[in-house]
Structures are given as C-alpha cells and as structure tokens.
Amino acid sequence: YGYSLTVIVARGMIVSEWIKCSDKMPNHKQRVNFVVEASVRNKHLNGFVLGGGYDEDGDTFFTPGCGFLATHWQPSPEPPKS
C-alpha cells in the first residue's frame, strides 16, 4: 500500500507509526488516520488513507456518513491552533 515507513515527517510534524488493527484498536471515538480495507463494492478505496474516527460499538472506522474496515491506523495529529 505504500506505507512501509514507520515514521513519516511532513511539514515538520512527526506522524506516529502505523498500528495493525489485529494488534490493537483505537479508543472509542478517537480521531485517527486509517488504511481502508474495502469490500468488493468499494474496491476503488482499498489502500486509501482516510482521516476520521473509530466506533467501538460498530467496530468500524468512519468518516462523516461512511463506515469502513481498516488494516492499520494511527492517531491523528492535533489540528492547528490558529
């Protein structure tokens, strides 16, 4: 999927390592970036990195209006202060 680096530095920010979903899941409603594991219906999104959250109740990652299965995740960086 093109995310083999464990730490990515972008615009001076260090992004944390990718965590396998089989190893650990995020906290409920935690803001995360995740790698989509798409079904046949959404195969065009397979491997995409999206930002959103995690819903522990449905065991799915989400963006507004959509739920996804994922292979890996990482905490989202804090948004800008200004």
How far is 24 from 28, CA to CA, in rounded Å?
A: 12
Give the tens place of pLDDT for each residue, 27-82.
Answer: 999 999 999 998 777 788 889 999 999 999 989 999 888 889 999 999 988 878 87
Q: Which of 7-11, 23-27, 77-81 has the highest mean pLDDT?
A: 23-27
Phi, psi dihedrals of residue 44, rounded to the nearest 5°:
-65, -15
Prediction pTM value: 0.75
At 15, the pLDDT band (50, 70, 90 cuts) reads low
